[in-house]
Structure 1
Amino acid sequence: MNFLAWLSPGRWLLIGALLAALVLGYFAWADHIGDVREGQVRAQYAKQAKAVDDARAAIAPPIAARQEARQEKIRTVFKTIIKEVPTYVSINDCAMSPGFRVFHDAAANGEVPDAARIADAAAVAAPDVANTVAANYQACHTNSARLTGLQEWVRAQQVLKAPP
């Protein structure tokens, strides 16, 4: 066999093409392996995320049930309190002055009372004042219970670990 025959340009071209095909094939294979591994990691992450989401979703219903029970108790208690107003506050009790009404309404709205409005305000019967005060306290207790429920939910969510 003639050694110089191996040096012919056609053979070098063939050898170069084979080497280029091998290198390109290797890079394509490595890219495919990377994609497979990335898909496996994504699937594992999705599985972990679903587990955390399911755990977080399971937290809400019991807290919501306790919250609804608290709200129902507050409604029942204040319905009873408002029903008892005539027992404790008589229609014959002294009516509250117009200034009291202006002051109370301003305080309830978070405003500074306007003394000029006293002239236009009417006196308020004591039972009406008692009903309004009870309704305001009911709203306060309702908001307090809602806040407590929200804090309970947040604390329960913080206990769960997020996936890495």
Structure 2
Amino acid sequence: MSVVAWPYRLLALAVIGIALFGFGWLKGANHIQAQWDAATAAQQQAKAQLQSQQAEASVQVVTQYVDRIQVVREKGDTLIQEVPVYVPVQADAACTVHRGFVGLHDAAAAGELPEPTRDADAPAEGLALSAVAATVVTNYQTCHENAEQLKALQDWIRQTR
């Protein structure tokens, strides 16, 4: 006969089984936690590296953008100063700028359709051809500045992918 009765043996086996299960559970949880911590640390490192690359790209792109904009502005300012050379006073006196042209130009600058005008052939009072030329040069200067801004943004996006 055995010294320990069979219900106690079953109870002892159940306690040992529960203890082994609990030990395995804790070891598995610690292992998973270690994996989680390692993955989190790797993500933090990748994030820091990406932020560093983005900061470097931003500095580079902004520097190039500022240089390009300065060149565009200098060229535009030079062109505006040259308007009297290319549109002399005699041309201002000889050419009549009509209201229809002014309305069309203003509508195009606003990105809208021009309103129908009754006096399209009437001269626009006080508007010289040189003023029209200076306005057109300024508009193109702004257009080129916008193009450089878009190029800089596209460069930044390419570099920070």
TM-score tier (shorter): 0.7 to 0.9
Q: Which moved more, 1:104-113 or 1:115-124?
A: 115-124
Unaligned runs of 5+ in 2: none
What are the within-5 Å matches in structure 2 for residues 15-164 of structure 1?
15-92=13-90, 93=92, 94-116=95-117, 118=119, 122-123=124-125, 124-158=127-161
* Partners of 1:102 and 1:117 within 8 A in 2: no
**Residue segments in structure 1 that go unaligned for 5+ positions in a row:** 159-164
Query: CA offset at residue 8 of structure 1?
Result: 5.1
Deviations 1:73-122 (CA, angstroms, capped at 9, x unpaired): 11112112212222222344223111111111112122222222646983
What is the CA–CA distance in structure 2 between the aligned matches of 1:36 and 1:118, rounded to whole Å? 82
Give the aligned residue type for 1:140. C
| Residue pair 1:67, 1:145 contacting (<8 A) in 2 also | yes
- Structure 1 runs (4+) greater than 6 angstroms displaced: none
TM-score, reference length from structure 1:
0.82
| Aligned equivalents of 2:58, 2:37: Cα separation in 1 | 32
The C-alpha deviation readout for 1:40-73, integer Å capped at 9, x for no partner, is: 1221232123223312221121111011011011
Q: TM-score, normalised by structure 2?
A: 0.83
Q: How does 1:1-12 map to 2 (within 5 A)?
A: 2-3=1-2, 5-7=3-5, 9-12=7-10
Q: Percent same amino acid at aligned positions?
A: 30
Structure 1 range deviating more: 43-52 or 61-70: 43-52
Paired residue type of 1:83: Q
Check 1:23–1:15 CA distance in 2 against 1; reply closer, same or farther (3 A cut).
same
Cα pair 1:90 1:126 within 8 Å, conserved: no
Number of aligned pairs? 156
RMSD: 2.2
| Separation in 2, partners of 1:117, 1:145 | 40
Distance 1:117 1:67 in 2: 45
